[in-house]
Amino acid sequence: MPLRPILKYPDPNLKRVSAPVSNVDHRVLSLLEDLVETMYHAPGIGLAAPQVGTLERIIVLDVDKELGGVGLIKLINPEIVAREGSTVFEEGCLSVIGFTAEVRRASKVTVRAWTPEEKEVQFEAGGLFAVALQHEIDHLDGKLFLDRISSLKRDLYRRRLKKWMREGFPEELTAPSSSL
C-alpha cells in the first residue's frame, strides 16, 4: 500500500469531474487502501481519489481518527440524496496549502453509496461528519472549498500562493497539520 502524492491547488485535475466506478475489483480495493494510508499519513480526516490523480468517485473519511481507525469509512460512488439545515465550519484541505476558511454547508445530509463489499448503503450524517462528506463529495464533482467562499477571499489566497511559489513556502506550511 504505497503513499500517493496529493495534488495541490491549482492542479487542473482537481477541477475535473470524476467518473462513477462500475466494477469493484482489485484495483479499486487497492486504491481505497492507498487512500486510507495517504489520508492518515497526511494527516487528514478525509481524502478523495481525485486528490491523488485518480478521477473516480471514491472517498475515505475518518472524523474520529484518534480512535485508531474505528470510524473509518470507505465509500464508492457516494451521492448526497438529501440536505437539511445550514452550518458554518472552518475548513481546510490537503490539496489547498496554508489556507482555511469558513464555509457554509448543510448541517445534515443523507448519503447513498456502495461499500468495498459491494453493498449499497444509505445513512444520515450531521456535524463534522456531514461537513466532511460534503467536502469530499465536492472533490468528486471537481469543486474545492475555495469555490464556496467569496471571490475576494479566493483572490487573496491565489495572490498569497503565487508569492509563496516565487519566494518559497513558510516553514509552518511544510509541517503536517490535520485537514479534510
Cis peptide before 10, with omega less than 30 degrees from 0? yes
Counts of helices then strands in the chain (DSSP H, E): 4, 7
Q: What is d(CA 48, CA 138) in angstroms, rounded to the nearest whole number?
A: 9
171 a catalytic residue:
no
User: How confident is the prediction along the chain (180 residues), in pLDDT tens digits per residue?
Assistant: 689 999 999 999 999 999 999 999 999 999 999 999 999 999 899 999 999 999 999 999 999 866 666 789 999 999 999 999 999 999 999 999 889 999 999 999 999 999 999 999 999 999 999 999 999 999 999 999 999 999 999 999 999 888 888 887 776 665 444 456
Q: Identify whether the C-beta of residue 82 lies closer than 8 Å to the C-beta of residue 95.
A: no
Q: What is d(CA 75, CA 61) in angstroms, rounded to the nearest whole number?
A: 9
Q: What is d(CA 21, CA 103) in angstroms, rounded to the nearest whole number?
A: 29
Q: Identify whether the C-beta of residue 150 lies closer than 8 Å to the C-beta of residue 74.
A: no
Ranges of each domain in the chain: 12-174
* pLDDT tens-digit readout, 55-70: 999 999 999 866 666 7
Q: Collect all residues with Cβ–Cβ distance below 8 Å to 54 and sequence separation of at least 6.
A: 31
The domain 12-174 belongs to what CATH superfamily? Peptide deformylase (3.90.45.10)
Q: Identify whether the C-beta of residue 58 lies closer than 8 Å to the C-beta of residue 48.
A: yes
Q: Is 66 helix (H, G, I), strand (E, B) or coil?
A: helix
Q: Which of 37, 136, 167, 171 is catalytic?
A: 136
